[in-house]
Structure 1
């Protein structure tokens, strides 16, 4: 559902809302599959820690990283079954993906109009995700992550996006008071977090999104 989003640019904003500093490794702000961006997971003591990971989950058993081109969204209905995601789900490898907005095509006019979807409050959103780690052929450890999605056919806001004949989907936007609960939840107690976000708390703005960057891609 979401293949393009805007991460948090300012370190001070990431610290204010998520309580973490930016990762030490380089990341991009305009994120497409294969590009390095910030994700947040729980540390050994339960505290939030930030990491650089590739958008598009690459499981530990993958032969190469290119499968991440198709694994940037995990359907909640099949996440326990699909080989790409089931290990991360079973191990409760939960993460939060900080985002200013996600980009989706608005088809209400009969044509695709690029729109940036964000919170009406102007605050960044914390998207529920799963993370994984994989070793490349040279032995380097690569982190990656995916966004969890749910059906949005009946969602008053998210059903406006994508082609009329397509199933409507939404990323799982977590309320801030549930962020730490999500990071700490085990697999047996994960499903209750996968809920729609209130339609009245979302806004869409017509934009001209930038093209995909040509650096920091794991797929180049």
Structure 2
């Protein structure tokens, strides 16, 4: 079982409500990867790179998943937060983009106040860095039947 996921901004009040406002992390990345479904039903993994070459400050949530039945071992899970895609990402066939925040918001993100979730949403709504994302095929994923 993988411990890396995406947390959609519109799911923060549902699936991620126990983490949003509590267990925040930040990762500095040069690119992000995600799968795109092709018209023939196959999947392709694309690597998106900001054309500026600048690193991205991607916000994340974390959780310690525990199997309710106690069979599976605990898993430390991380989720990169995503939002609506930039136009060039949507044109590549993907429906979201990682949330890349301004350096000014690092302290607030890493030390959240669960009583003030509006301050966290304001980070997302602030005109965050939105470089033009170039992409390339990272892998062709083939279904074996």
TM-score range, shorter chain: 0.5 to 0.7
CA contact (8 A) 1:106 1:160 kept: no
Instruction: Classify 1:113/1:142 alpha carbon distance in 2 versus 1 (closer, same or farther; 3 Å).
Output: closer
Q: Aligned residue for 1:184?
A: 111
CA contact (8 A) 2:56 2:100 kept: yes
Q: Aligned residue for 1:145?
A: 78
Equivalents in 2 of 1:81, 1:114: separation in Å?
28
Aligned with residue 55 of structure 2, among 111, 118, 124: 124
Aligned with residue 99 of structure 2, among 169, 172, 194: 172
3-state SS of 2:7 partner: strand
CA contact (8 A) 2:47 2:138 kept: no
3-state SS of 2:122 partner: helix
1:183 CA displacement: 0.8
Q: TM-score, normalised by structure 1?
A: 0.48
1:192 CA displacement: 1.4
CA contact (8 A) 1:92 1:185 kept: yes
Structure 2 alignment gaps of length 5 or more: none
- Aligned-pair Cα RMSD in Å: 3.4
Q: Aligned residue for 1:95?
A: 25
Instruction: Classify 1:125/1:73 alpha carbon distance in 2 versus 1 (closer, same or farther; 3 Å).
Output: same
Q: Per residue, is there more strand in 1 or in 2?
A: 2
